[in-house]
Amino acid sequence: MRAAVADPRVRLAVVGCGPHSVTTLQPCIPLITAFDYVAAYDRHADRAAVALRFGARRCYQDLRQMLDGEALDAAIVAGPAPMNHEMGLACAEAGLHVFVEKPIAPTIEGARQVADAIRARGRVGMVGTMWRHAPAIRVQQRLIGSPAFGRIVALHAAHLAPGSYVDGPGGAGGGSVAWRYMLDQGCHMADCARFLMGPVGSVTAVRSASSRCRDRVSLSALLTFASGATGTILFASHAAVMSPTITIVGDRGQAVTVRNLTSLRMHPLPDDLGDPALRAQVARTWAHGANYRGISRPGHLEALEHFARAITAGIAPEPSLDDGWQALELCRAILDSAESGGAVSLQGGSAGPPRSS
C-alpha cells in the first residue's frame, strides 16, 4: 500500500478482464471520480489490453509483476470462482482493499479464507452481490423501514434465470449443477433476503420432481427469520431471461414488490375516495424508466461507488466479504434441506444485523 500523497483518489487495479469485467464493471470506473485506474491484469494479452479503453494506464499478464511494480490502494477481482479465491488472497496479501466479484470462492471455506485474510490486514473487503445496491431495492428498504409499514411479517420471492447460468463463470469449480447455480445466481437472492429481512434461523426446501432436465434447477425454500417473520423463495433455471421478484409484507396491510431490480409497486394504500361504491386497490409505483444512470443491470455502479466510499470515508462495506460467505452458507443450507427432506438450522442465524420493526 502506498504512502499518503497529494492525490486523494484510490489507485485502482482490475484483476481479470473477462466478459463481465469489460462489459459491466470496467465501464463503471470512469464514472467514479474517486478512482484512479492505474493498471489491469489478465493472463490473456488481448483481454488485458481492453482495459486501456476504460482508462487503465498499463496492462499486465503477470499479476505479481503488477502488484510489485505499481503503487496501488485497491483491486477489483472479477473472474471464475476459483480465480476469485486465488487472486483475492493474492491482493489481500499485497495489502490492498479488495472488491471480489461473486462468488468469492467455489466453497464456503474458501470464501471465509479471503474474508479473514483481508480483515487481518485491516483493509476493506466487499463482494459483488450488488442487488442490495440497486435503487429499487434501496427504495424498498426505505419503505419497509417506515413506521407506517409496521412489522415485517413475510417475504415472497422468486429468482428465475436461464439454464446457461448453471455453466457460467460464477459456478466454475462448483461441483453439482445445483451448487453451480447457487454460486452464480442463488447467492444474489440469498444476500438480498438477508439484507431486507435479517438473519435466517432455519430453512426447509423441496426440489421439483417434475423437471426432466438434469442440467436445470427448480426448488422452493421456506425460511424462518430471527425476527419471527417467514419467507418463501423459488429458485428456477428454466427461464428464458433473468427475472427476480421480491415482495415484503407488513402487518399493517401493505406490501412492496420489486421486479427485475428496475420497478417497484407498493400496495394497497389507504383508499381516500371514501365511497364504498368506488373502492379499488390503490397502489404506488416507482420505475427507472429511461433515466437510469448506471451500466448494465442496476446496482453495479452503485456497488463500486460504495466500495470507493468505504475506502475514502471509512464507512462499513456492504455487502462485506462476511456477507458473501454467509449468503453461500444460506444457499448450502437450502440444498442440504432439499437433499435430506428436513429442516436445516443456521447456527446463530445467517448473518446480517437483525431488522428493526
Residue boundaries of the structural domains of the chain: 10-130, 131-290+320-345
* Sequence letter at residue 159: H
Confidence (pLDDT) at 353: 38
pLDDT in tens, 253-296: 899 999 999 999 998 766 655 666 666 677 889 998 888 899 88
Contacts for 124 with CB less than 8 Å, ≥ 6 apart: 74, 97, 98, 118, 307, 310, 311, 317
- Indicate the pairing of strand 263-269 with strand 10-15: unpaired
In the predicted model, what is the mean pLDDT of residues 144-153? 95
| Sheet of 58-60, strands arranged across | 58-60, 35-41, 10-15, 74-77, 97-100, 125-127
Name the least confident of 105-119, 235-249, 332-346. Answer: 235-249
Report residue 161's pLDDT band, with 50, 70 and 90 as the boundaries: confident
**Which CATH architecture describes the domain 10-130?**
3-Layer(aba) Sandwich (3.40)
Would you say residue 2 has pLDDT above 90? no
pLDDT tens digit sequence for 10-49: 999 999 999 999 999 999 999 999 999 999 999 999 999 9
Least Cα distance to 331 among 161, 107, 132, 138 occurs for 107
Task: Return the percentage of the chain with pLDDT > 70, whole number.
Answer: 87
Question: Which CATH code for domain 131-290+320-345?
Answer: 3.30.360.10
What is the pLDDT at residue 240? 79
What pLDDT score was predicted for residue 268?
Answer: 79
Closest C-alpha to 125, from 152, 101, 107, 149: 101
Cell of 118: 483481508
Task: Give yes or no on whether 10-130 and 131-290+320-345 have one common fold.
Answer: no
Do 125 and 119 meet the contact criterion of CB atoms below 8 Å apart? yes
Give, in order, the Cα–Cα distances in Å from 338 to each of 23, 82, 167, 321. 35, 26, 21, 26
pLDDT range class, residue 177, cuts 50, 70, 90: confident
Q: Look over the chain and give the mean of its residue pLDDT values, rounded to a whole number.
A: 90
State the Cα–Cα distance between residues 271 and 287, nearest whole angstrom.
22
Q: How confident is the model over 282-332, as pLDDT tens digits?
A: 788 999 888 889 988 999 999 999 999 999 999 999 999 999 999 999 999
